[in-house]
Amino acid sequence: MSKKNKGDLNQSEGEPKSNSTKASTPAPEPPKASATAVASTSSSDEMADAAPKKTEGVLYLGIDLGTSRTSVSASNGVRETVASYVGYPKDAVSRKLLKKDVLVGSEAVEKRLSLDFYRPLEHGVLKCSEKDGSYSKNLQAAQDLIAEIIRRAKPRKDELVYAVIGAPAQVSINNKEAILDAARESVDSVMLCSEPFSVAYGLDMLDDVLVIDIGAGTTDLCRMHGTMPEDNDQITVTFAGDFVDNKFAELLKEAYPEAQFSTAMIRDIKERFSNVGDQVDKVMANFPVNGKPTPFDVTDQLRAACNSIVPPMVEGLSKLVSTFDPEFQDRLKNRVLLAGGGSQIRGLDVAIEREMMNQLGGGKVIRTEEPMYGGAGGALKIAHDMPAEFWEKLK
């Protein structure tokens, strides 16, 4: 499916948001300032009441565009996740073998040796450096990734597609433009929101809550206090899933220099066995040594790698707590919402609470029930709550 926007989308992004975006109106103007500017009220019920009845023939999508996985929740009930990888046949032989011009997701990963292989997102945003001349290729890969996740949402041919896409909390202006450029070919109207905000919005946790959204490329921290979050309410750090993978590989090389392994192999081990608890089962992995599969005990290395993201994560939380109104700091740190794919590390909530005791004197962590679809589900709820004329203005 290929669609072109009928208007300029620049109104959905811009310079850092000012306090003026908090003005409460029943039909907000398209946000002109921030990737987090998605509504002018702090209550989803109020927004739903203010929004006029939706016209038929529109498919609303919430998309969590991630470094490792991209998820969609659609108003027709479809929910899908695809690995954020795209590949193109290298030559005539690979094209004959694959019988496709574009491969996306796990299929691209499996056939990557036959492909020009792209992971178009890095640290949660589109790779947009012109230094190596790869920008246009990554943009095309991102377009094909978004087109595939929308295809999996099963829009009808006669439907308009309106999408809210989650982006890291402190994404740059250039990357906002790049993400919007990547989406324009496949949707009729699009806007961005910050990923941690969409998680909180989907759960109606809009007051006195600290969100930790752990992805592959970034961990996004956001404090919610009954209004739209501003720039100083949010922090984005790169201590996330990819950081754990790199640390795990580093520790394995130190402990077992003879072992051979790929990033995909250690990521698979992490996703199946990650644990930061005090009592963990032994984790054994087979790595080739001179071509011979050899078992290695990787328990300590995996636990240390997973634990490495906890102190910097809590440092970010400490900054958001310490710069908040002193009267409400205790309430804020006792409602920490752990979300995103990285939140599935076993024992992580307890490890964060322990570190919060050291740095903040205490705190309470709550896990989301659906870490893989929290961001996409929240983005879909935002899309539903936006008045119809809002979407028309963005087209």
Tell me which of 3.40.50.300, 3.30.420.40, 2.40.50.180, 1.10.10.10 is the CATH number of domain 241-307: 3.30.420.40
Query: What integer pLDDT is reported at residue 211 of this predicted model?
Result: 95
**CB count in 10 Å sphere of residue 336:** 24
Q: Give the count of beta carbons closer than 10 Å to the beta carbon of residue 14.
A: 16
Residue pointed to by tokens 């103007």? 29
CA distance 193 to 169: 8
Distance from the Cα of residue 273 to its chain's centroid? 22
CA distance 373 to 134: 30
Give residue 127's pLDDT. 74
| Residue 289: count of CB within 10 angstroms of its CB | 13
Is the pLDDT at 92 greater than 90, yes or no?
yes
Mean of the per-residue pLDDT values for the chain?
84
pTM for this one?
0.81
Residue 258, amino acid: E
**251: nearest Cα among 214, 283, 228, 209:** 283
pLDDT of residue 26: 39
pLDDT higher for 56 or 349? 349
Average pLDDT over residues 310-325: 95
Q: Tell which wins on pLDDT, 220 or 38.
A: 220
pLDDT tens digits along 251-310: 999 999 999 999 999 999 999 999 998 888 999 999 999 999 999 999 999 999 999 999
Q: What is the pLDDT of residue 24?
A: 35
Mean pLDDT, residues 334-348? 94
Q: Which backbone phi and psi does 163 adopt, to 5 degrees?
A: -125, 140
What CA dihedral angle connects 34, 35, 39 and 44, to 10 degrees? -140
The one-letter amino acid at 285:
A
User: How do beta strands 58-65 and 160-167 pair?
Assistant: parallel
Stronger pLDDT, 10 or 244, i.e. the higher one: 244
Stretch 160-180: mean pLDDT:
84
Q: Quote the tokens at residue 48.
A: 């739903």
24-33, 91-100, 167-176, 269-278: the lowest-pLDDT one = 24-33
Q: How does residue 363 score in pLDDT terms, banded at 50, 70 and 90?
A: very high
How buried is residue 226: exposed, middle or buried, by Cβ count under 10 Å (0-12/13-18/19+)? exposed
pLDDT value of residue 123: 73
Are 261 and 301 a contacting pair, CB within 8 Å? no
- Among 55-59, 226-230, 385-389, which is the least confidently predicted range? 55-59
